[in-house]
Amino acid sequence: MGSAFHTTTLRLTTGHRETIRDLTGECAAFLHEIGARDGLLNVFVPHATAGVAIIETGAGSDDDLLDALGELLPRTDRWRHQHGSTGHGRDHVLPGLVAPHATVPVTAGSAALGTWQSIVLVDTNRDNPDRTVRLSFLG
């Protein structure tokens, strides 16, 4: 049996505030649509100011992550990269801490996530609300 590669692009609007956007449902729909069985799902955000994480959502962890990033990367004018809103330079440092990609095993057509895990887009850039996320499956 040969391998197959499928890919799609999601276009999202995240708004003008820091946000964590759950992508788990879109990932599941993509896997279902292509008839995925076993393989790997890669989630990639082609932006210099956003990342992808696998975390628990809905119980405060998403806000805790944004708070922790705010402490590590304060929105001040201390950053060398200075254009856009105050502190935008910190958004360009974000992908160094929250990678712009995640790869998840897929078994029997479903992402093999843990009970409380979700695939999320982490977007701290208040200047650009339009985001692209590429989902790719190799199986």
pLDDT tens track of the chain, all 139 residues? 467 999 999 999 998 899 999 999 999 999 999 999 999 999 999 999 999 999 999 899 999 999 999 999 998 888 888 787 887 889 899 999 999 999 999 999 999 999 999 999 999 998 989 999 999 999 9
Q: For residue 65, what is the domain's CATH number?
A: 2.60.120.460
44-75 burial code (b ≥16 CB/10 A, e <16): bbebebbbbbbbbbeeebbeebbeebeeebeb
What is the domain range of residue 48? 5-138
- 10/107 Cα distance (integer angstroms): 22
Structural domain tally of the chain?
Answer: 1
